[in-house]
Amino acid sequence: MHVADLADAHVRALSHLEAGGASAVYNVGTERPSSVRDVLAAVGRVVGRPVPARPAGRRPGDPAVLYASAARIREELGWAPARPGLETIVADAWKWHSAHPRGFAGARV
């Protein structure tokens, strides 16, 4: 999920509480699964070169597919991801990382 969508979900939840709404637990996500292979492929497309990887089998106990419904936050707070595409998420992360190769090191906060 895109960090801006996660921030939007938090702001909506806080606004809901400030307006006197009850506290609740929400799943926040795109409701679409993405495999490690999907993520690596998206990264490769965005950066323009393949990502080296060593395929391996699933570890004991790992689910074949795992994703959650965001229906409750959509219905109660009107939230939905505005940037659901994996390539958009990776492109924005790559853009930020390229502009901040040392992360937040040395940044004034």
| Domain ranges for the chain | 3-52+69-99
Q: Return d(Cα 81, Cα 4) in angstroms, integer.
A: 9
Taking the CA atoms of residue 104, residue 6, residue 91 and residue 98 in that order, the dihedral angle to the nearest 10 degrees is 0
H/E stretch holding 45:
helix 36-47
> How far is CA 108 from each of CA 3, 5, 24, 96, rounded to the nearest angstrom?
21, 25, 35, 17
Answer yes or no: pTM beyond 0.75. yes
Taking only the tens place, the pLDDT of each residue in 55-109 is 998 899 998 888 889 999 999 999 999 998 999 999 999 999 999 998 888 566 6
What amino acid is encoded at 54 in this protein?
R
